[in-house]
């Protein structure tokens, strides 16, 4: 069992808590604050136990100075002010004398949020490459490291893996809860159905080989589906596709034809915008110049038919570009159908959970995980480096 925040005396200690505040921001507003809300338990515990609380998180990717302007954690600080009902200190610097001064002046129960850790990724890729000097520096700012960023456990970056290597460490309540809830998928009640959608094809597609060993069916939709449709020899127009994964997809379809279920129809459009100018076409009839942005009605029925037989469902990745109203129907209808089945249903992923919350299905499922890639990798049995370096509780 991993050490947790409860196993430390936090009184008067500088406690660095790695949170996952990588929240969706639309028109300068946080469109889904689920990850922030879920982090509060650990933060409040540290405050109540007289720690000096230092919060760190990444937000999106930083590849330019322009990104730095748009991806500041300042917006999260404002949210935390409201949620915790206290003034949260904020350091615009991710290192240096000003940051150190703020920390040296902190009193017990003060909370500091440090700017987006990925600001260290530009111009040099220090955070994401787990730069040793940066890891040691950040570790030098605290006495104890608590990792509560479930969504990044599968990565080895300076702010999670790096700091954790140099400080006494443990997990927070969010990570503890996620691991407990997701453990039902170790031995799922059968039939077990996995729904896989979304757009990060390269990141996820190889995991299918592991997931499929446990799953009875894998329903593939969203942006994920078109690489498979192309692998079957279909024209996919301008639909999102990872050409490097076509051979792999073909291998999967050939080997697991009884388990993999692909869309038979799609809502396609010429323009990537929220437009009603779209048509429904069968998967073997996507015209040139069109892109698939949602599954079609026949596919929805086929997916529902598979889900009806299931006892356990795990879902990662929306079934269409659900940020656009006109392409959210597949995701919405499957959410609705699942919410009424009363079976073990786990939603894994930022976007999947955001969509579920947006469409009114918050708390309607067994578990709504804060992690996307992390959840998927965990249940596929992949390595979770930032969890592995957390100390075990001595018995």
How far are the Cα atoms of 63, 64, 72, 75 from residue 69, in angstroms, in the given order? 11, 9, 6, 12
Does residue number 351 form part of the binding site for ligand AMP (CB under 6 A)?
Answer: yes
Q: How far is the CB of 201 from ligand AMP (least distance, A)?
A: 8
Does residue number 318 form part of the binding site for ligand AMP (CB under 6 A)?
Answer: yes
Q: Please tell me whether the peptide bond between 123 and the residue prior to it is cis, using omega within 30 degrees of 0.
A: yes
Q: How far apart are CA 267 and CA 326, in angstroms?
A: 9
Residue of 3, 44, 109, 200 marked active site: 200
Q: How far apart are CA 192 and CA 185, in angstroms?
A: 9
Six-digit token string for 290 = 């069109």
β pairing state of 260-261 and 344-348: unpaired
Given the rule CB under 6 A, which of 185-193, 242-250, 320-328, 336-344 is the region that contacts ligand AMP?
320-328
Does residue number 200 form part of the binding site for ligand AMP (CB under 6 A)?
Answer: yes
| Residue with Cβ nearer ligand AMP (141 or 196) | 196
Helix (H, G, I), strand (E, B) or coil at 266: strand
Does residue number 296 form part of the binding site for ligand AMP (CB under 6 A)?
Answer: no
Query: By 3-state DSSP, what share of the chain in percent is helix, strand and coil, each rounded to 5?
Result: 45, 20, 40
Q: How far is the CB of 362 from ligand AMP (least distance, A)?
A: 18
List the one residue from 103, 113, 261, 293 that touches ligand AMP (CB under 6 A): 293
Residues 235-254 that bind ligand AMP (CB under 6 A): 240
Q: How far apart are CA 132 and CA 59, in angstroms?
A: 21
List the one residue from 25, 83, 84, 199 that touches ligand AMP (CB under 6 A): 199
Place of tokens 């599968």: 154
Does residue number 348 form part of the binding site for ligand AMP (CB under 6 A)?
Answer: no
Q: How far is the CB of 183 from ligand AMP (least distance, A)?
A: 22
Q: Is 373 a catalytic residue?
A: yes
Q: Is 350 a catalytic residue?
A: yes
Place of tokens 């049995």: 381
Indicate the angle between helix axes 34-48 and 350-358, nearest 10 degrees.
Answer: 110
Q: Is 332 a catalytic residue?
A: no
Given the rule CB under 6 A, which of 84-92, 117-125, 303-311, 313-321 is the region that contacts ligand AMP?
313-321
CA 55, chain centre distance (Å): 19
| Residue with Cβ nearer ligand AMP (151 or 372) | 372
Does residue number 162 form part of the binding site for ligand AMP (CB under 6 A)?
Answer: no
Cα angle value 280/284/290 (rounded, 5°): 55
Does residue number 170 form part of the binding site for ligand AMP (CB under 6 A)?
Answer: no
Q: Is 320 a catalytic residue?
A: no
| Residue with Cβ nearer ligand AMP (145 or 303) | 303
β pairing state of 25-26 and 29-30: antiparallel
| Chain positions contacting ligand AMP, by CB under 6 A | 197-200, 222-223, 240, 292-293, 317-318, 320-323, 349, 351, 372
Q: Which residues are catalytic?
A: 35, 200, 350, 373
């Amino acid at each position: 069992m991993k050490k947790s925040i409860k196993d430390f005396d936090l009184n008067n200690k500088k406690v660095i808590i790695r949170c996952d505040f990588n929240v969706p921001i639309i028109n300068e507003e946080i469109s889904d604050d689920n990850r922030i809300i879920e982090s509060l338990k650990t933060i409040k515990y540290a405050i109540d136990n007289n720690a000096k609380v230092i919060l760190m998180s990444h937000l999106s990717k930083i590849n330019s100075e322009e990104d730095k302007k748009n991806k500041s954690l300042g917006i999260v600080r404002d949210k935390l002010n409201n949620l915790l009902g206290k003034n949260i200190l904020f350091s615009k610097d991710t290192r240096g004398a000003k940051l150190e001064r703020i920390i040296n002046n902190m009193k017990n129960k003060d909370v500091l949020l440090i700017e987006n850790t990925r600001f260290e990724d530009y111009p040099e890729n220090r955070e994401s490459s787990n730069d040793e000097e940066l890891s040691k520096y950040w570790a030098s700012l605290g006495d104890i490291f608590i990792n509560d960023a479930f969504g990044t456990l599968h990565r080895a970056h300076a702010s999670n893996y790096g700091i954790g290597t140099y400080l006494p460490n443990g997990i927070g309540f969010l990570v503890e809860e996620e691991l407990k809830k997701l453990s039902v998928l170790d031995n799922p009640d059968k039939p077990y159905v996995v729904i896989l959608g979304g757009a990060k094809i390269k990141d996820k597609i190889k995991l299918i080989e592991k997931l499929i060993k446990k799953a009875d069916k894998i329903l593939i939709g969203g942006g994920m589906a078109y690489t498979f449709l192309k692998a079957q020899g279909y024209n996919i127009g301008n639909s999102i596709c990872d050409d490097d994964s076509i051979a792999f997809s073909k291998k999967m379809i050939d080997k697991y034809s009884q388990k993999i279920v692909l869309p038979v129809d799609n809502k396609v459009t010429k323009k990537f915008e929220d437009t009603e100018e779209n048509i429904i076409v069968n998967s073997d009839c996507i015209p040139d110049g069109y892109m698939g942005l949602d599954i079609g009605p026949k596919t929805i029925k086929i997916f529902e038919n598979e889900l009806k037989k299931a006892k356990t469902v795990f879902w990662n990745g929306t079934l269409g570009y659900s940020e656009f109203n006109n392409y959210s129907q597949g995701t919405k209808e499957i959410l609705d159908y699942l919410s009424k089945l009363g079976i073990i249903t786990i939603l894994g992923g930022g976007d999947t959970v955001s969509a579920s919350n947006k469409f009114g299905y918050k708390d309607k499922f067994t578990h709504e995980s804060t992690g996307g890639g992390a959840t998927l990798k965990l249940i596929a049995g992949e390595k979770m480096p930032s969890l592995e370096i957390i100390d075990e509780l001595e018995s």
